[in-house]
Amino acid sequence: MNDNTTYYNELTAKYLSGRCDGAEMEELANFVNSTPENKRWFNKQKQNWQPQRGEDLFLDYNWDKLSGKLSAQKSTNIVQLPRRKFIWSSIAAILIIGLVISNVYQYISNGSEEQEAWVFETPRGQKSKVTLPDGSEVWLNAETKLVAASFTAQQRVVELEGEAFFKVHHNKKAPFRVKTVDYDVEVLGTEFNVMAYDDFERTETALVNGSVKIIRGTQEMLMKPGEKVVYNNNKFIVGTFHKGTETGWVNDQFNFENVSFYELVRRLERWYDVDIQYNLEEFADTKFSGVFKNEETIWQVLDGLKLYLPITYKRTNMRKIDVERVKE
């Protein structure tokens, strides 16, 4: 913790009550990002803060601004590239909350030299867009990690944890491969969505355009546009999908189709950076279908859910919510 404890205590309290100006917000962001200890201290202060009357009206707005600064600083440290092989070309980002600045670059290597892996991460409450060295575009959903493990003139390989939508630049000489915990997706050039969150215990690929091949060991499966492949419990299930359901999150629209209450809660936690407490047994048989837009706050979403599900909720801390089933 920094020696100026009293000063940063006062600055944090000023931020939490919605009274920080732009320069103070920048200073606080720099301080929080300077050491892991400072970040842990700030998160504890934020979780334990109890607003006075009227102060909570400014909190979400100010948190949006500060989280953007924290994420922007974090993202500039994610990727380390050998200068002799790459040139910086532009900056691009799309976010749900705040603004993450992602460095986008052009690939100028001939593929004959070894390279470092590049890591892109989005925390809870945010999504981002990155452009890979070959010009392919990737949208990363909240709490997602993408590692560009090998990009050469002969192959393009990325590793995915979470969910991402890909627009792959066509190059028949260098197949593009997405590696997940359950299987690989190989493609020459197309648009598709891959969902591989560990806590959902399944991996999904939905093909929008083009053609992709699913590879698991010696098994191979060629997909057609409009098809969706789900790997769960050691078996593949092939079906169809509605484009909005699988890719709506890219355009800030959240589509749910007969999802479990557990998955609904986990997605809301990721998108809005909140912690939702509930009794899983009470909602074991609860399913939900519906659509939300990102313009809606978590409170508007929960109010909307109350119209369709027998639930009630209360805010217990700045970003903690208790949800209970209404007794019928």
Residues 61, 113: one domain? no
Cβ contact 192:205 at 8 Å: yes
Residues 94, 240: one domain? yes
CATH number assigned to the domain comprising residue 297: 3.55.50.30
Residues 67, 98: one domain? no
Residue-wise pLDDT tens for the chain (328 aa)? Answer: 545 778 888 887 777 666 666 667 677 777 887 787 887 788 777 767 655 544 443 444 444 445 544 444 443 333 333 322 322 222 223 332 222 323 333 343 344 445 567 889 898 888 899 988 888 999 999 999 999 878 888 889 999 999 999 999 888 888 999 999 999 999 977 999 999 999 998 999 999 999 899 999 999 999 999 999 999 988 999 998 876 778 888 888 888 888 999 999 999 999 889 999 999 899 988 998 888 876 678 888 898 888 888 899 998 887 899 999 987 6
How far apart are the C-alpha atoms of 14 and 4, rounded to whole Å?
Answer: 15
Cβ contact 237:244 at 8 Å: no
Cβ contact 69:26 at 8 Å: yes
Residue 81 lies in a domain: no
Which residue among 225, 246, 267 closes a domain?
246
Residues 139, 230: one domain? yes
Residues 113, 226: one domain? yes
CATH number assigned to the domain comprising residue 184: 2.60.120.1440
Stated as kind and residue range, the H or E segment containing 304 is helix 298-305
Which residue among 197, 227, 246 closes a domain?
246
Stated as kind and residue range, the H or E segment containing 161 is strand 156-167
Which residue among 246, 280, 307 closes a domain?
246
Number of domains in the chain: 3
Residues 93, 190: one domain? yes
Query: Position of tokens 């953007």?
Result: 68
The domain in which residue 18 lies consists of 5-75
Residue 33 lies in a domain: yes
Q: Coil, helix or strand for 73?
A: helix
Residues 110, 222: one domain? yes
